[in-house]
Amino acid sequence: MNRIRQVWAEGRSAVVGWLHIPSAFSAEIMARAGYDGLVIDIQHGAASFHEAHEMFRAIELGGAEPLARVSANDPGEIMKLLDYGCYGVICPMIETGEEAAAFAASLHYPPQGRRSYGPRRPAQRYGAAYVEMASQSIVSFAMIETQLGLVNLDQILAVEGYDGVFIGPADLALALGHPPKPDPDAPVVVEAIRHIRERAHAMGKKVGLFCADGAYARARIAEGFDLVSIAPDSALLAAGAQASLAAARG
């Protein structure tokens, strides 16, 4: 069973890492750190399908659930990632109920959706059982990060076939006239985040948030977020290098 769903079944919030570095070696290091899942960022990270395919193995071997943030609401891209061992999808820039429905359709085989059959790696492992299992296992989030997405929020949340909404605070801040600050504190952004969380929960959907700082993420978990992502690998590396250099140079 999907580790993210297991965490939810235990009444906890999932904590996931975020991968910009296009390397299975570093992905396995991240996976062994104990995240519930790891999101390969195809949209803004350096990996394309080739690297993601290798990274899915490293993440699975390291004990975390392999997820991806895709580059667009593109069924071809989403389906191919699922065919090679992705068990969760975060889709950027959903702005209408129609877009949310198209996203949901790409995740499920007919009759529920329009996913095309060819689950290369999952079928190696689960055989014919995968068809049934796929819909129950894969987790899925539509990103709310634009003004139009906010306006159409209830319409988007009313769509069936995906798990929840995920908030990208940097893009949301830009959309609301603020700089793309991680872990935002501008009242209008904070308020929008609160609004999305409450509407999602009211309509029976999960809600996730991209966070930079661990302590900030913890506070959001306390507020009820079902999934938080924390500092990407590139940020961990940059911060670690700076701290290590400062210690060495005094």
Please confirm, yes or no, whether 44 is among the known catalytic residues: yes
Stretch of 1-9, 78-86, 186-194, 201-209 lying at the interface with a second copy (CB under 8 A):
78-86
Stretch of 37-45, 96-104, 134-142, 183-191 lying at the interface with a second copy (CB under 8 A):
37-45
* Per-residue DSSP letter, 10: T
Which position among 1, 190, 202, 239 is part of the footprint of a second copy (CB under 8 A)?
A: 239
Question: CA–CA distance from 172 to each of 21, 145, 150, 168, 209 (Å)?
Answer: 24, 4, 9, 6, 11
Nearer to a second copy, 49 or 202 (CB): 49
> Between residue 47 and residue 66, which ones bind a second copy under the rule CB under 8 A?
48-51, 53-54, 57-58, 60-62
Q: Which of 20, 44, 50, 53 is catalytic?
A: 44
Output the smallest distance, CB 99 to a second copy, in A.
14
Nearer to a second copy, 180 or 204 (CB): 180
The tokens 């490293």 sit on which residue? 58
What is d(CA 101, CA 43) in angstroms, rounded to the nearest whole number?
20
Q: Does 99 bind a second copy (CB under 8 A)?
A: no
What is d(CA 150, CA 114) in angstroms, rounded to the nearest whole number?
27
> Between residue 128 and residue 147, which ones bind a second copy under the rule CB under 8 A?
128, 131, 145-146
- DSSP sequence for 131-189: HHHHHHH-EEEEEE-SHHHHHTHHHHHT--SS-EEEE-HHHHHHHTTS---SS---HHH
* Per-residue DSSP letter, 198: H
Nearer to a second copy, 100 or 170 (CB): 170
Which position among 26, 138, 167, 227 is part of the footprint of a second copy (CB under 8 A)?
A: 26
Other residues' Cβ atoms within 10 Å of the Cβ of residue 197:
20
Q: Does 198 bind a second copy (CB under 8 A)?
A: no
- Give me the active site residues, please: 44
